[in-house]
Structure 1
Amino acid sequence: MSRITRVLAGGLAVAAVAGFCTTVAGGVAPAAADRAGRPVVIGHRGASGLRPEHTLASYRMAISQGADYIEPDIVATKDRRLVARHDNWLADSTDVENRSEFADRRKTKTVDGTTRTDWFTEDFTLAELRTLRTEERIPAVRPDNTVFDGLEPIPTLEEVLELARKHDVGVYPETKHPTYFDGLGLSMEEPLVATLHRYGFDSRGDKVFIQSFETANLRDLRHLTKVRLVQLIDGSGAPYDLVKSGDRRTYADLVKPEGLKWIASYAQGVGPATNRIVPVTADGRLGTPTTLVRDAHRRGLTVHTWTVRNENEFLPADFRQGNAAAPGYRSATGDVGGWLSKLYKLGVDGVFCDDPSAGVGARTEVFGS
């Protein structure tokens, strides 16, 4: 089968999938879903369950499926340009390891306390990065997406914003590894705010959120922009900026009432991992829901949870389907609609989805058309 035939076949196969994933974004006056009092659907890295993440094809797919927001993760290049990548290392999502002209760029670095040998965006100019081609980051779970390997360059933040403006959807950028980039003299917050402003995303009512797992950059952003800010809350660990500064608070501390009070002093929302809303027991099943959604709402904070994915690999055991011993069980689609419906009924304001059509479908089931 030729590459073109494979791409066409893969595209038709993916298009035939009726995904079931949605995202919610609360706030002052964002997308139509917000204004209607319904949760929003956030296209997690685009529609990353159906196309390689952080590609224009992935963002376009998310828009076509009805996502209210598309989410670009942002990292910096050597020449201070912002591009959409999940992390600043490149080997797991591009063809850089096959490019002999960049062999000497492979380095060992420590990012947020973890040592890694790879190729890093900050060692490339934008022009050099644009010669690379994107690839599926988790091919073992999403083999169908590999048909799109090698077809697209790494998109710039400007390209993502142009796409959002063209289709009148919101954007939800995340600054990745901000303390690390600050240490390199490549602060991302100022160019991010300037670029958003250039495309008309600059007020509290605009369809934009800026999110981060760290706190210091969000506290700085509070003085740089009027757009809404969201403190991400991981399922374990602590914000790296707090760790580096010697602050002993963890994410578990930040979801307590006092932690939420502090977050509300600089942000308009929280983005907790789903297990902060419904813990998972040792056997992979859901436990008793926490009070996080209620507590956050009492502080006036929007709650956008992450990440809902269709595959059994990523679903709570309660919503997995099929025979665990069968080939392809990990990547088989489970009852993602049931999982989304449960989250909606627990009162979340938004959900990050790898397949936005699933979120839209579940929202319709729970809230009506």
Structure 2
Amino acid sequence: MKQPMHLCLLPLAALTLFSGTAQATPTLTGDRPLVISHRGASGYLPEESIQAYQLAMRMGADYIEGDVYLTADNKAVMLHDGTLNATTNVVAYAATHPDIAALRSANGSYDVTKFTLAQLRQLSVTCRNANGYCTDKTYFDAGQSYTFASYSDFLDLAYNNYLATGIAIGVFPEAKQGGLAVAEAILAGLTDTKYNGYFTTAGRALTQSFDATQVSYLNANSAIPVSYLGACPTTAAAAAQVAAIADGIGPSTGQLSAACVNAAHGAGLSVIPYTYLNNPSTYASAYNLGVDGVFTNFPDIAASVRDQVFGPETPVPEPHSVALLGLGLAGLGVFRKRKQA
């Protein structure tokens, strides 16, 4: 297994471009925007796999992000697609496992909602190989089996990393499946007593959805902030409507504009656009609009460009006891619900 660097090394020309020339725009949430690893470090390793999330944390991501579905036995799992064909070895595996082959739909797809968690754990996660996923093979090992993640696995990664290192990396689950059951499962995981309040401490968890009904539910039933994906209001009135049900917006890179950022910030909404790939200049442009963070498949690039635009982050002293842990997200408490203010 190749050992990752903490951050990528940008070309000298890129470093020259950002150093001392960019006008760093303060974000709504602080001086430095957040790096949110989209489906883990999915530009390098199979998306939503245990290994992709682990690599993202090593690369300096502030949050690990992933998509949540419910299985046939009502277990929450991490997958972007409702079907397994593009991102797992299910087709090849089914060829020698009749019980799995029996779950195939008439159109040849394998729907995650027909599988139990135990059946999903038999599969390995594979590269999508399209649209900025697994495009850089620096850390990919063709001989390794990449591990499927349940929602509990996803939360355990962040929590156990905190216990081991004192670095508080947050989580950003998305309700991908329709209906309120998946939103309920997301909140149930974040409030599970086994995490000792870790994810309910301000700044350590954010939630999100493209569905206004789910956003409203998450907003009404938890103090954990929620982002409305796909929203990009450009007027004060439109931003106020979003602010009635959400704490932030997640526009696409194509939607993002200065008008959107200004309107959202005027309504107290954070702005975290998706999805940034391996072009350093696109990060600098977003940071200079004053976004509060970026969803990225390449968290090392996002972090490296951020350091060039805003300067290196001030080191946090190493904690000396469990009571002092969790300083890694210092300053992110501004994400707490405005209704609590």
TM band (smaller chain):
0.7 to 0.9
**Counterpart of 2:117?**
126
Q: Secondary structure at the match of 1:188?
A: helix
Cα distance, 1:166 vs. partner? 2.2
Counterpart of 1:73 in structure 2 is: 67
Q: CA deviation at 1:206?
A: 3.5
| Residues 139/229 of structure 1: CA separation in 2 closer, same or farther (3 Å cut) | closer
Pairwise CA distance, 1:259: 3.0
Q: Does residue 1:104 correspond to 2:102, yes or no?
A: yes
Partner of 2:156: 162
Is the partner of 1:309 in helix, strand or coil? coil
**Aligned twin of 1:272:** 251
Q: TM-score, length-normalised on structure 2?
A: 0.76
Aligned length: 281
Aligned to 1:208: 205
Q: How does 1:1-369 map to 2 (within 5 A)?
A: 8=1, 11=2, 18=8, 34=29, 36-98=30-92, 99-100=94-95, 101=97, 102-108=100-106, 117-138=108-129, 142=135, 144=137, 147-148=141-142, 151-167=145-161, 168-179=168-179, 187-198=181-192, 199=195, 200=197, 203=200, 205-233=202-230, 256-277=235-256, 289-310=257-278, 336-369=279-312
Q: Distance in 2 between matches of 1:337 and 1:349?
A: 17
CA RMSD of aligned residues (A): 2.5
Counterparts in 2 of 1:150 and 1:256: CA distance versus 1, 3 Å: farther
Change (3 A) 1:159 1:19: farther
The CA distance in 2 between the partners of 1:201 and 1:19, in whole Å, is 33
Relative to structure 1, the CA distance from residue 292 to residue 256 in structure 2 (aligned partners, 3 Å threshold; closer, same or farther) is same
Say if 1:353 and 1:107 are closer, same or farther in 2 by CA, change over 3 A: same
Distance 2:6 2:266 in 1: 42
Distance in 1 (alpha carbons) for counterparts of 2:112 and 2:9 = 32
In 2, the alpha carbon distance for the partners of 1:148 and 1:96 equals 17
Structure 1 unaligned blocks of 5 or more: 1-7, 21-25, 28-33, 109-115, 234-250, 278-288, 311-335
Rounded to whole Å, the distance in 2 between the matches of 1:171 and 1:125 is: 24
Indicate the percent of aligned positions where both proteins have the same amino acid.
Answer: 30
Displacement, 1:177? Answer: 2.7
SS, match of residue 306 in structure 1 = coil
SS in structure 2 at match of 1:359: helix
- Counterpart secondary structure, 2:68: strand
> Deviation of residue 153 (structure 1)?
2.9
Residue 325 of structure 2 corresponds to none
Deviation, structure 1 residue 16: 9.8
Residues 87, 128 of structure 2: 8 Å contact kept:
yes
CA contact (8 A) 2:70 2:177 kept: no
Shift of 1:84: 0.7
Give the Å deviation of 1:143: 7.0
Distance 1:269 1:306 in 2: 13
1:225-277 per-position Cα deviation (integer Å, ceiling 9, x unaligned): 110000001xxxxxxxxxxxxxxxxx57x555433211101110000001112
Distance 2:303 2:130 in 1: 26
- In the other structure, the counterpart of 1:241 is none
Paired AA for residue 104 in structure 1 = A
Q: Using the alignment, how far apart are the partners of 2:285 and 2:130 within structure 1?
A: 29
1:38 match: secondary structure: coil
CA distance in 2, matches of 1:366, 1:359: 11
